[in-house]
Structures are given as structure tokens and as C-alpha cells.
């Protein structure tokens, strides 16, 4: 079983870090657990990158195919697969209640 490399922009990393900090205001243990579960979900996408559905609306907004991973019913993770480099690139992360911007998945 081949694992794809992971690429993420500083903006995506900052959005994830901000969510960890927000959860940590209530409970550091809860934030660390959330971060571990998120890492495990992303690792699953790295192992089986084609298993999550393509989100057509998100793909249209960013101009390339974007897969959507729903994490714990409250967060959306969007990623693109680059077969030439055997990598997945996280192209979006947000709470389900937040609407995407015009160039965001």
C-alpha cells in the first residue's frame, strides 16, 4: 500500500492551527485529541486518495478537481491529487457553517 506525500500551504496549516487553538481554549486535551484524529483522517486520504467524492462546486471554484473529506461532521477538508508527484495537496479546510470565498473550495 503506497502512501502519497502531503502538501499543504501555509494558509491551510494556519487555519488548522487556529482551530486547534480555539478548541484548546476549552480543553487542551480535547484539542490534542482533535488534532490526532484530524491527522489520522488526512493520513487515510494519503493512503486511499481516490476514496473521497469529488466536489463539483469546489472544483469549479478552484479550477481543478477537489475531493471532499468530511471530518467529524463539522469540518470540510478539500484536497487535490497529483499523480505525477504521488502527492495530495490540501487545498481547503473550513467549518461546515462557513461559506467559501470565490477562489476557495
| 31-83 pLDDT per residue, tens | 999 999 999 999 999 999 989 999 999 999 999 999 999 999 999 999 999 99
Task: Using pLDDT thresholds of 50, 70 and 90, give the confidence band for residue 101.
Answer: confident
- Helix (H) / strand (E) containing 54: none
Regarding pTM above 0.85, the answer is yes
Task: Look at residues 37, 46, 35, 39 and name the one whose alpha carbon lies nearest to residue 3.
Answer: 46
In this structure, CATH architecture of domain 5-95: 2-Layer Sandwich (3.30)
Q: Going by C-beta distance under 8 Å and a sequence separation of 6 or more, which residues neighbour residue 86?
A: 2, 4, 5
Domain boundaries, the chain: 5-95
Amino acid at each position: 500500500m503506497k502512501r502519497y506525500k502531503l502538501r499543504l500551504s501555509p494558509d491551510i496549516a494556519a487555519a488548522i492551527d487556529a482551530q486547534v487553538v480555539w478548541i484548546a481554549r476549552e480543553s487542551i486535551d480535547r484539542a490534542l485529541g482533535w488534532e490526532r484524529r484530524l491527522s489520522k483522517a488526512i493520513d487515510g486520504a494519503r493512503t486511499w486518495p481516490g476514496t473521497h467524492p469529488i466536489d463539483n462546486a469546489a472544483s469549479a471554484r478552484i479550477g481543478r478537481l477537489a475531493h471532499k473529506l468530511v471530518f467529524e461532521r463539522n469540518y470540510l477538508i478539500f484536497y487535490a491529487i497529483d499523480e505525477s508527484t504521488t502527492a495530495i495537496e490540501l487545498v481547503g479546510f473550513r467549518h461546515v457553517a462557513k461559506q467559501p470565498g470565490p477562489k476557495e473550495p
